[in-house]
Structure 1
Amino acid sequence: MSNIEQRWGTLAERPAIFLITLLIIEATGAFETSMVLVAIPTMAEEFQVDLLTMSWVVTTFLVTGAASAAIGGRLGDQFGRKRVLLVLLAASLVGSLLGALFGGNFAILLLARGLQGTSAAVLPLLIGLARETSDRRRLPTVVAVTGAAAVLATSMGALTSGILVDLGDWKLIFWVSSVLALLGLIAGTVVLRETPRAQNAARLNVVGGLLFAPGIAAILLGITFAARDGFTGSATAYLIGGSAILALWANREWRADIPMINVRALLTRAVGFPQIAMSLLAVGGFATAALALPILMQSPSELPVGLGLSATFTGAVVAGAGLAAFALSPIAGRVALRWGGRSALVVSTCLLLGGFVILLFWYSNVVLVVVAGALVLTGVAWAVGALPNVIVEAVPAENTSEIIGVNMLLRTVFTAIGTPVAALILNSSTVPGTRAPTQTAWVSLTAWVLVMSVLALCVILALPKRAARDVAAGESPEGALAM
């Protein structure tokens, strides 16, 4: 072994350096998720499109992220997590550079956001690497902090976006994401160690595993067309066609000996119920918070729904809430260690519910909206960290990235679905002569989120109770997957 390899191995064995590396890499994907959100009102004006059309800069990212998460976790388990991770980060870097140089063209902007979406798949690989490197008692905290780092980076993306929008050039955001992706590539190359390649890697059905991506894209296009023109022939065709592709995909993956996405695992309560809960949270609170909070804060105060805040102030509020959520994330890890990931997930959902209750009744009060934003982002942060902990408790180590990849897939897909749904609800009732939502639209949107969150809470409470200390003590977790 060379001196360089020995030094790299030593770095990977230092918990603090390893954790910092995970946080840098996860920050890339999370930053790119949110970096355009605060800029959407400005971008819509610049490109002269409505909010539903502009939401595709988010949706395109999420659809690509879903596809990457679907195959990234499985390919990482099979071919080596570090190798796949670096490929995803390289694609993200290309997308960031493309957006920085040519983002003024709407079609190229969507292409750039699609390439950036590959970075949304890094979390399953990072959790798998953390499970290989961290000791059992430290693992829940590492997972919780890594998940919360996503919310912190998301918040910083909003702050950076707000500052650059107010300075007059939102395209500079792509240069910031380019730097982050480059730092992630360097840190991952230097610090992370490669995992062994599985012997059955060549048997994977990549094409079958990716069939869901055009299916989801077709359904989202159908939703967009239906929102704008009603259920015309094209909207109905997209919806039916997308559903047929998803049915074909599910059938292929179910029958495959080694599926790219293990849909059979979703039938177990310990694995399937967390995925259902995450899907409900994503289609409701996750998607709505990302889209609606900037619109509420930046819309003029003379409108029925609007606080008249600047983009910078909006970004600062989101960043402050994200920082608080990150600071509190070790508490979620301790809750998961002592009482299990299910308990941390219950608390996170209750925080999300509390935040949207405030937004339902007191959306015109700046202070209470800030408090609500903090509660919502803390709930999201804890949920993002708690769900992987629930999965880690339920599956064997060799399937960690795969099943967390499925979780990431569902979270990304349902956030992608929830984004146009939220835009559709906001556009259902607008102030005459503007694109601004009325009070009726805002109440409908927050009520939608509350219903989804309550359903998610019911699913979470139906999860089997599992003490994380049993896993930490080395006992075999229940619900291990049958491959």
Structure 2
Amino acid sequence: MAEKLDKTVVRTATALVIGALAVVFDTTILSVALHTLAIDLHTSVAQIQWVTTGYLLALAATVPLSAWLLARFGGKRVWMVALAIFLAGSILSGLAWNAESLIAFRVLQGVGGGLMLPVMTTLVMEVAGGRQLGRVSAVIGLPAMAGPVLGPVLGGLILALGDWRWIFWVNIPFTVVGLLLAWRMLPSDRGRDPERRLDVVGVVLLVPGLAGLLLGLSNSVQPGGFGRVDAWLPLSGGAGLVAAFAFWALRRRGNALVDVRLLRVRSVWSASTLLFLSSVALYGAMLLLPLFWQQVRGTDALGAGLLLVPQGLGTLACRPIAGRLIDRVGARWIAVVGFAIVAVATVPFALSPASAADPLLLVALFVRGFGLGAVTMPLMVASYQGLAGEQIAHSSILTRTAQQLGGSFGTALFAVLLQAAVQGGASLTAAFDLAFWVASAATLLGAGISFVLPSAGAAKAAVASTPAPSPAPVTAASGSPRPAR
């Protein structure tokens, strides 16, 4: 019989996941409401798009600060303050009186949300102490796996039954309960290094660098793609700033805003690369699939959201199975099989299915969701193997950033592919065929790269060498990370 999760891990994960549900759903729930918001707030779709763009930029700006905040102030305080900021942003967004005020309040939401996700992962992984990481990731990965699929459905239902303001107010119960649970259930801590100074140069380089990359990718979705000045210019500037930060961080070593030396660790760089690719497949498909149902199959927005439910159910069905298997056989083979399943289940959409029976496509979506669940969890586990203390916090930043960039790149890539195919004279169905074939190919690439993940034996050795978590504050780790072999 499988060993039960430690009670402290369960309590910590429960308190954090409840609050995190609001953040993950909020990231995707708004995707079906932009047209409604533009009409009700008397503005253009281009301007209202900043409701989403501003939120994502705020997320990117605050994620890199999480490791420093954890070291300086401690996990419980950072989590509760971040959750309170997100709650305030949600209430104010629901009270917005015009597009400008809504964009500003969404940025406030993004500040809180950007801190919450890496902090959640860091706290739970530290409490787990390197043990049963597969089952732990099945718990904390629930919001991240369910949100992208169920969020648009929830948004469509809210718009169909009530006012758009409830898209933001639906966050209130999650955040209030999350604050109460955090206050009662999270262990108090003072931080590892209360005197830690902020790497100001790192902030100046990395934060606008990531924002530039995400802004360029967001703008490239519009007509003109990557050739637009407002796409390639921020992309180029952002890439230059991120590269400059990498050189700066290598000189600063353990005192950098983000310890990029962790990318020398096999498990971290391979997991980060694969999380980028899996996000391309997930979020790129979240652009393609609703458009496919609406433009090729003729459904409305709510119908398209409901038709995506099987993918979410598949992901949830995979969660407990994959969590247990990862602890037994390691992350490598679970990820390989997961990527292969996603690739195969995407193919039916690339075979000109305009007249295919809906049940066949719904089954394919369920299988695709199952594969996505088998991809996400082993990559999360692999990225923390052999790490301890503050290294976990820095790995959380690296993997979360890879996911953000991958999601934005996937959305931009497939939008550009659709536009280019249609402008080149292809029919709408042929354009979708091409995009789905590219999605399948990118997923197969992920299956190949998954072979570089640490083996099951290396994972067990990493767990054995991971120090047990200490309840007392300790100084920040300054040694080089231990690579998994």
Give the Cα separation in 2 of the matches to 1:324 and 1:223: 29
The answer as to whether partners of 1:426 and 1:442 remain within 8 angstroms in 2 is: yes
Aligned counterpart, 1:382:
374
Deviations 1:73-108 (A, max 9, x none): 443245312222122212211221222111x63333
Determine whether 1:328 maps to 2:318: yes
Aligned AA (1:109): L
Aligned counterpart, 1:122:
116
Determine whether 1:179 maps to 2:168: no
Unpaired stretches in structure 1, ≥5 consecutive residues = 1-11, 300-304
The answer as to whether partners of 2:331 and 2:455 remain within 8 angstroms in 1 is: no
Work out which of the residue numbers 212, 219, 244 in structure 1 matches 2:240: 244
> Which stretch shifts more, 249-258 or 460-469?
460-469
Aligned AA (1:112): F
The answer as to whether partners of 1:261 and 1:402 remain within 8 angstroms in 2 is: yes
Aligned AA (2:368): V
| TM-score, normalised relative to structure 1 | 0.83
Alignment of 1:131-142 (within 5 A): 131-134=125-128, 137-142=131-136
SS at match of 2:296: coil
Aligned AA (1:287): Y
Aligned counterpart, 2:84:
90
Aligned counterpart, 1:274:
271
Give the Cα separation in 1 of the matches to 2:202 and 2:95: 34
Aligned counterpart, 1:60:
54
- CA 1:228–1:157 in structure 2 vs 1: closer, same or farther (change >3 Å)? closer
Work out which of the residue numbers 101, 104, 111 in structure 1 matches 2:104: 111
The answer as to whether partners of 1:341 and 1:468 remain within 8 angstroms in 2 is: no
Give, in angstroms, the shift of residue 420 of structure 1: 2.9
Instruction: Give RMSD over aligned pairs.
Output: 3.4
- CA 1:38–1:482 in structure 2 vs 1: closer, same or farther (change >3 Å)? same
Give, in angstroms, the shift of residue 240 of structure 1: 3.1
Deviations 1:263-307 (A, max 9, x none): 12112322211111111222x21221222222223x2xxxxx432
Determine whether 1:228 maps to 2:208: no
Aligned counterpart, 2:433:
443
Aligned counterpart, 2:182:
188
Give, in angstroms, the shift of residue 253 of structure 1: 1.9
Deviations 1:21-58 (A, max 9, x none): 232122122111211123345556766756x8766544
Aligned AA (1:350): A
- CA 1:20–1:40 in structure 2 vs 1: closer, same or farther (change >3 Å)? same
The answer as to whether partners of 2:336 and 2:451 remain within 8 angstroms in 1 is: yes
Aligned counterpart, 2:159:
165
- CA 1:442–1:26 in structure 2 vs 1: closer, same or farther (change >3 Å)? same
Give the Cα separation in 2 of the matches to 1:330 and 1:293: 26
Aligned counterpart, 1:370:
362
Give, in angstroms, the shift of residue 355 of structure 1: 2.8
Give, in angstroms, the shift of residue 411 of structure 1: 0.7
The answer as to whether partners of 1:346 and 1:457 remain within 8 angstroms in 2 is: yes
> Which stretch shifts more, 179-188 or 420-429?
420-429
Aligned AA (1:152): A
Aligned counterpart, 1:263:
260
Aligned counterpart, 1:417:
409
Give the Cα separation in 1 of the matches to 2:463 and 2:265: 24
Aligned AA (1:269): R
Aligned AA (2:290): P
Give, in angstroms, the shift of residue 207 of structure 1: 4.9
Give the Cα separation in 1 of the matches to 2:219 and 2:8: 52
Aligned AA (1:352): V
Give the Cα separation in 2 of the matches to 1:77 and 1:348: 35
Aligned counterpart, 2:475:
none
The answer as to whether partners of 1:65 and 1:120 remain within 8 angstroms in 2 is: yes
Aligned counterpart, 1:395:
387
| TM-score, normalised relative to structure 2 | 0.83
Give, in angstroms, the shift of residue 442 of structure 1: 1.4
Give the Cα separation in 2 of the matches to 1:293 and 1:225: 20
Unpaired stretches in structure 2, ≥5 consecutive residues = 1-5, 468-478
Give the Cα separation in 1 of the matches to 2:338 and 2:61: 27
> Which stretch shifts more, 226-235 or 163-172?
226-235
> Which stretch shifts more, 210-219 or 456-465?
210-219
Aligned AA (2:28): S
Give, in angstroms, the shift of residue 417 of structure 1: 3.0
Aligned counterpart, 1:406:
398
Determine whether 1:203 maps to 2:197: yes
Give, in angstroms, the shift of residue 357 of structure 1: 1.6
